[in-house]
Structure 1
Amino acid sequence: MDDLVLNWDLGTGGLLILAVAAIAGLLVMIMALRMHAFLALLITSLLTAVIAGVPANRLLEAIGFGFNSTLGNVMLLVGLGAMLGRMIEASGGAQVLAEKMIDLFGERRAGMALSVASLLMGFPIFFDAGLVVMMPIIYAVARRTGASFLSIAFPSAVAFSAMHIFSPPHPGPVAASNIMGADVGLVLLVGLVFALIIWATVAPLAGKVFGDHIRVPVPTILDSNSEETGFESRPSVPAIISMLLLPLVLILLNTGLNTLAATKDDPDAFKALPVVQVLRVLGETPIALLITVLVSMVVLGWGAGKSGTLIEKIQDSALGPICSVVVVTGAGGMFGGVLRLTGIGDAVAGSLNSLGMPVIVAAFLIAQIVRIAQGSATVALTTAASLMTAVVAAGDFNALQVVAIVMAMSAGSVGVAHVNDSGFWLVSRFFGLSMKQTLASWTLIQTAMAVVGFALSLVLFGIASVV
Structure 2
Amino acid sequence: MLPTSPGLVAGFSAATTTAGATRSTTFLLLTAVVAIAVLLVLIIKVKLHAFYALVIVSLLTAVVAGIPAADLVSTLTSGFGNTLSTVALLVGFGAVLGRIVEVSGGARVLADTLVARFGESRAPLALSVASLFYGFPIFLDAAFVVMLPVVYTVARRLGGSLMLYALPAAGAFLVMHALVPPHPGPVAAASLLGADVGLVLVVGMLVALPTWYVMGYRLALALAKRADFLPVPDLLGRPSESSDQPRPRFGVILLVLLLPLVLIFGGTGSSTAVTNYGVDEDNPLVVVLQIIGATPVALLITSVLAMLLLVVRPNRGKVGGRLEEVVDSALAPVCSIILITGAGGMFGRVLTETGIGGALAGELDAAGLPLIVAGFLIAVALRIAQGSATVAGTTAAGLLAPAVAADPSLSALQLACLTVAMTAGAISFSHVNDSGFWLVGRFLGLDTATTLKTWSVVSTGIGLMAFGLVWVLWTVIS
TM, length-normalised to structure 1: 0.95
1:42-61, aligned counterparts within 5 Å?
A: 42-61=55-74
User: Which range is displaced more, 407-416 or 95-104?
Assistant: 95-104
Aligned length: 459
1:413 aligns with 2:426: yes
1:287 aligns with 2:297: yes
User: Which range is displaced more, 346-355 or 363-372?
Assistant: 346-355
TM superposition shift of 1:211:
2.0
* Kept in 2: contact 1:184–1:259 (CA 8 A): no
Following the alignment from structure 1 to structure 2, what is the Cα–Cα distance between the partners of residues 122 and 414? Answer: 15
User: Which range is displaced more, 273-282 or 368-377?
Assistant: 273-282
Q: Deviations over 1:269-291 (max 9, x none)?
A: 63332211110110111111111
Q: Deviations over 1:199-252 (max 9, x none)?
A: 111133234312211121112211135257x58431111111110001111111
Q: Deviations over 1:278-311 (max 9, x none)?
A: 1011011111111111111111111011414112
* Kept in 1: contact 2:101–2:149 (CA 8 A): yes
The residue that corresponds to 1:272 in the other structure is 282
The residue that corresponds to 1:403 in the other structure is 416
Q: Deviations over 1:344-368 (max 9, x none)?
A: 1012112212321111111110000
Q: In the alignment, which of 330, 344, 347 is matched to residue 318 of structure 1?
A: 330
1:337 aligns with 2:349: yes
Paired letter, 1:303: R
TM superposition shift of 1:172:
0.7
Q: Deviations over 1:168-203 (max 9, x none)?
A: 111111111111011111011111222212111113
Paired letter, 1:295: L
Paired letter, 1:258: S
* Kept in 2: contact 1:151–1:208 (CA 8 A): yes
Paired letter, 1:278: V
1:451 aligns with 2:464: yes
Q: In the alignment, which of 91, 94, 103 is matched to residue 78 of structure 1?
A: 91
Following the alignment from structure 1 to structure 2, what is the Cα–Cα distance between the partners of residues 7 and 175? Answer: 28
Paired letter, 1:404: C
1:390 aligns with 2:402: yes
1:367-382, aligned counterparts within 5 Å?
A: 367-382=379-394
The residue that corresponds to 1:303 in the other structure is 313
Q: In the alignment, which of 28, 43, 48 is matched to residue 35 of structure 1?
A: 48
* Kept in 1: contact 2:171–2:217 (CA 8 A): no
The residue that corresponds to 2:7 in the other structure is none
* Kept in 2: contact 1:169–1:255 (CA 8 A): yes
1:360 aligns with 2:372: yes
1:174 is paired with a residue whose SS is helix
The 1:288/1:30 distance shift into structure 2, 3 A limit, reads: same
Following the alignment from structure 2 to structure 1, what is the Cα–Cα distance between the partners of residues 385 and 17? Answer: 19
Question: After the TM superposition, which segments of 4 or more aligned residues of structure 1 sit over 3 Å from their partners?
Answer: 3-8, 230-233, 259-262
1:96 aligns with 2:92: no
User: Which range is displaced more, 396-405 or 358-367?
Assistant: 396-405
Following the alignment from structure 2 to structure 1, what is the Cα–Cα distance between the partners of residues 85 and 172? Answer: 25
2:216 is paired with a residue whose SS is helix
Q: In the alignment, which of 227, 230, 233 is matched to residue 219 of structure 1?
A: 233
TM superposition shift of 1:7:
5.9
The residue that corresponds to 1:174 in the other structure is 187
2:427 is paired with a residue whose SS is coil
Identity %: 50
Q: In the alignment, which of 231, 235, 244 is matched to residue 257 of structure 2?
A: 244
Unaligned runs of 5+ in 2: 1-15
Following the alignment from structure 1 to structure 2, what is the Cα–Cα distance between the partners of residues 106 and 457? Answer: 34
* Kept in 1: contact 2:102–2:239 (CA 8 A): no
Following the alignment from structure 2 to structure 1, what is the Cα–Cα distance between the partners of residues 170 and 107? Answer: 18
User: Which range is displaced more, 305-314 or 162-171?
Assistant: 305-314
The 1:197/1:271 distance shift into structure 2, 3 A limit, reads: farther
TM superposition shift of 1:71:
1.3
* Kept in 2: contact 1:184–1:263 (CA 8 A): no
Following the alignment from structure 2 to structure 1, what is the Cα–Cα distance between the partners of residues 360 and 284? Answer: 44
The 1:458/1:442 distance shift into structure 2, 3 A limit, reads: same
The 1:213/1:160 distance shift into structure 2, 3 A limit, reads: same
Following the alignment from structure 2 to structure 1, what is the Cα–Cα distance between the partners of residues 444 and 343? Answer: 18
Paired letter, 2:28: L
2:385 is paired with a residue whose SS is helix
User: Which range is displaced more, 127-136 or 196-205?
Assistant: 196-205
1:146 aligns with 2:159: yes
Paired letter, 1:437: T
The 1:68/1:427 distance shift into structure 2, 3 A limit, reads: same
Following the alignment from structure 1 to structure 2, what is the Cα–Cα distance between the partners of residues 159 and 217? Answer: 21
Paired letter, 2:398: S
Q: Deviations over 1:365-387 (max 9, x none)?
A: 00000000000001110111111
Following the alignment from structure 1 to structure 2, what is the Cα–Cα distance between the partners of residues 409 and 102? Answer: 37
Q: Deviations over 1:290-347 (max 9, x none)?
A: 1111111111111011414112211111111111111111111110011111111012
The 1:232/1:31 distance shift into structure 2, 3 A limit, reads: farther
Q: In the alignment, which of 75, 98, 122 is matched to residue 62 of structure 1?
A: 75
The 1:344/1:4 distance shift into structure 2, 3 A limit, reads: closer
* Kept in 2: contact 1:142–1:218 (CA 8 A): yes
The 1:64/1:4 distance shift into structure 2, 3 A limit, reads: farther
* Kept in 2: contact 1:8–1:52 (CA 8 A): no
Following the alignment from structure 1 to structure 2, what is the Cα–Cα distance between the partners of residues 204 and 413? Answer: 20
Following the alignment from structure 1 to structure 2, what is the Cα–Cα distance between the partners of residues 34 and 138? Answer: 28
The residue that corresponds to 1:257 in the other structure is 270
The 1:224/1:140 distance shift into structure 2, 3 A limit, reads: closer
CA RMSD of aligned residues (A): 1.6
Following the alignment from structure 2 to structure 1, what is the Cα–Cα distance between the partners of residues 252 and 339? Answer: 33
Following the alignment from structure 2 to structure 1, what is the Cα–Cα distance between the partners of residues 200 and 320? Answer: 47
TM superposition shift of 1:4:
6.8
TM superposition shift of 1:159:
1.2
Q: Deviations over 1:416-435 (max 9, x none)?
A: 10000000001101111100
The residue that corresponds to 1:205 in the other structure is 218
Following the alignment from structure 2 to structure 1, what is the Cα–Cα distance between the partners of residues 410 and 175? Answer: 26
